[in-house]
Amino acid sequence: MPVAPEFDGGVPPIASGPSKSPPSGSCDTHAHVFGPYDVFPFVTPPSYPPPLAPFELYSAMLARVGIDRGVLVQPAPYGTDNRALTDALRRGKGKTRGIAVVTESVSDRELAALQEAGVRGLRFNEMIDSGTGGRFEGSVGVDQLRRLAPRMKELDWHAQVWARCDDAASLAREITQLGIPVVFEHMASFRVEQGTRDPKFREILALLTEGRIWLKLSVCRSSKAYPNYEDVRPFHDALIDANPGRLLWASDWPFVRISDAAPDVGHLVDLFSEWIGDEEIERKILVENAGSLYSFQ
């Protein structure tokens, strides 16, 4: 039964323009669209106040910060109803790619339609909802990936996984044995209080160094130091040192479950440039890596 939410999460604020323009062809590899809800209602009640963040606002945000390309990720409240996602991808006219959510019951025809719309991977969620003690309602776990892997290989799709740092390395080894590239969201969800010497984070660094995984550099989820995220900087630096050829930049717009600590995307762009301090590496992460993984022409 479709769920028509109240807009408790409001409308995302307008991003500021960064002080330095990103290189041409830059890509924000992690954002979500929500609504309009009279056209695209949720299929399950959200575990957070839902924002009203349709394609028009998303597109305006990218233009404001000077980013040319984007990757949209299916949020849990839409479950396996990917219509809002694919509508946005088609309206992106080749400048957007998507990460969808399906189960093993999906038909080959549906997978082909997702591919045609611009989907290049599937999202799998192993995080626990603290409110329920179970997986976020509407999400799909890695158990489904095991069954979907042969069909994903045929499409040349990758797996995008949201998991705790404690679980990420073992999941990565299992997924790569299935012959599927794996991308971890939110810098593999390390625990900032554990520091960069945490054995589980070091496992992630080793896999990254070997080129066996991809990671999205989105700083706001793991940090406790809004708005400049100084506590995340050592982890960010360690990942850059390990292998910039397997890293992607991600805003995480429109920042669900962050409330008053939602960042300004323009500020995130500036922080990334400042922390990298090398135009060649910046271009590799913002342009080249994303272009390769998501098959931008």
Our answer to whether residue 167 is catalytic in this structure is no
Residue 75 and residue 78: Cα distance in Å, rounded? Answer: 6
Determine which helix (DSSP H) or strand (DSSP E) holds 274, and give its type and residue range.
helix 265-276
Q: For the chain, list the strands marked E by DSSP.
A: 27-31, 69-73, 96-100, 119-125, 158-162, 182-184, 214-217, 247-249
The residue annotated as part of the active site, out of 108, 252, 264, 278, is 252
Neighbours of 179 (CB within 10 A): 10
For 91, the token pair is 């309206």
Given a contact cutoff of 8 angstroms between Cβ atoms, the answer to whether 250 and 218 are in contact is yes
Handedness of CA 128, 129, 132, 138 (dihedral sign): negative
Q: Which of the residues are catalytic?
A: 252
